[in-house]
């Protein structure tokens, strides 16, 4: 089973850049998308259903903002939009999709780059999400938390750790949250398979075109699993050559 997570930075723009052509050549069983910036009514869903996907979508209330979607080859047995936290749900940040005994949580974590107010909200969101997903783990043993976490966990997850030590996404409090998350039993699937790999990034700033060319990136996208799936992880990958967004797809393969 191949699961892919991808912040597309606007699904309509990504489709125009060839997203569907790529999906036709790279088979994906469960495709988790963040930052759709659209509602299901904004695109022709047959573009996905004709590829054999069932569509689960949770848009933000604000037009052209945030939003998450899951495209799955198997029809979900349950779909839950949101976590019950008002602002997070208003912004369309989390969708839960159950497929058999497997639960996919697709999440678009807030960014704090626009200022203190959003950074403080990011900390609030992290606390709320941790409580929610830990409670879910008591109900559902096999969980994948896919998404753009907007946090680079350690020095090897960012091209310039010293220069970014005061940057949102690499602040001590954010890295401490990732520590807490991992200590609670969640498995960073990429690091499980590639514990010391450097230069493996999933996002590059768009401010300067040379940034991606020179691989000055951050690894802020994750496919984390509950401990019940740890021994079923067979492969992981990051696909920097796939370019429909300022992010790239990340991949997790599980033994069925």
Predicted pLDDT of residue 150: 98
* Measured distance CA(236)–CA(159) in Å, rounded: 20
User: What residue spans of 140-254 are helical by DSSP H?
Assistant: 172-183, 189-193, 210-213
**Taking a C-beta distance cutoff of 8 angstroms, is the pair 48, 25 a contact?**
no
Predicted pLDDT of residue 34: 98
Q: For residue 14, what are its two tokens?
A: 């990504």
Predicted pLDDT of residue 68: 98
DSSP letter string, 18-33: THHHHHHHS--SEEEE
Predicted pLDDT of residue 208: 83
* Measured distance CA(230)–CA(31) in Å, rounded: 20
Nearest to 109 by CA among 68, 156, 62, 149: 149
CATH superfamily, domain 2-254, is Endonuclease/exonuclease/phosphatase (3.60.10.10)
Structural domain spans, the chain: 2-254
Per-residue pLDDT in tens (0 to 9) along the chain, 256 residues: 999 999 999 999 999 999 999 999 999 999 999 999 999 999 999 999 999 999 999 999 999 999 999 999 999 999 999 999 999 999 999 999 999 999 999 999 999 999 999 999 999 999 999 999 999 999 999 999 999 999 999 999 999 999 999 999 999 999 999 999 999 999 999 999 999 999 999 999 988 879 999 999 999 999 999 999 999 999 999 999 999 999 999 999 999 8
* Measured distance CA(37)–CA(114) in Å, rounded: 18
Predicted pLDDT of residue 209: 79
148 is catalytic: yes
Predicted pLDDT of residue 197: 98
Catalytic residue among 148, 157, 221, 246: 148
Predicted pLDDT of residue 202: 98
């Amino acid at each position: 089973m191949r699961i892919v997570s991808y912040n597309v930075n606007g699904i309509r723009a990504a489709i125009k850049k060839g997203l569907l052509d790529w999906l036709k050549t790279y088979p994906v069983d469960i495709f988790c998308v963040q930052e759709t910036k659209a509602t299901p009514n904004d695109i022709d869903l047959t573009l996905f259903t004709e590829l054999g996907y069932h569509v689960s979508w949770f848009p933000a209330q604000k037009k052209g903002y945030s939003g998450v979607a899951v495209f799955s080859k198997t029809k979900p047995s349950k779909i839950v939009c949101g976590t019950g936290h008002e602002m997070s749900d208003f912004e369309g940040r989390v969708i839960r999709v159950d497929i058999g005994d497997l639960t996919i949580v697709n999440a678009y974590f807030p960014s704090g780059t626009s200022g203190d107010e959003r950074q403080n909200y990011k900390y609030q969101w992290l606390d709320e999400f941790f409580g929610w997903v830990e409670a879910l783990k008591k109900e559902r043993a096999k969980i994948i938390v896919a998404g753009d976490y907007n946090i680079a966990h350690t020095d090897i997850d960012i091209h310039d750790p010293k220069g970014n030590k005061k940057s949102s996404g690499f602040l001590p409090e954010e890295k401490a949250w990732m520590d807490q998350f991992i200590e609670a039993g969640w498995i960073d699937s990429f690091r499980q398979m590639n514990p010391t790999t450097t230069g493996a990034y999933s996002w590059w700033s768009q401010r300067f075109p040379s940034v991606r060319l020179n691989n000055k990136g951050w690894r802020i996208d994750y496919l984390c699993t509950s401990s019940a799936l740890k021994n079923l992880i067979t492969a992981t990958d990051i696909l920097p050559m796939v370019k429909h967004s300022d992010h790239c797809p990340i991949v997790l393969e599980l033994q069925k």
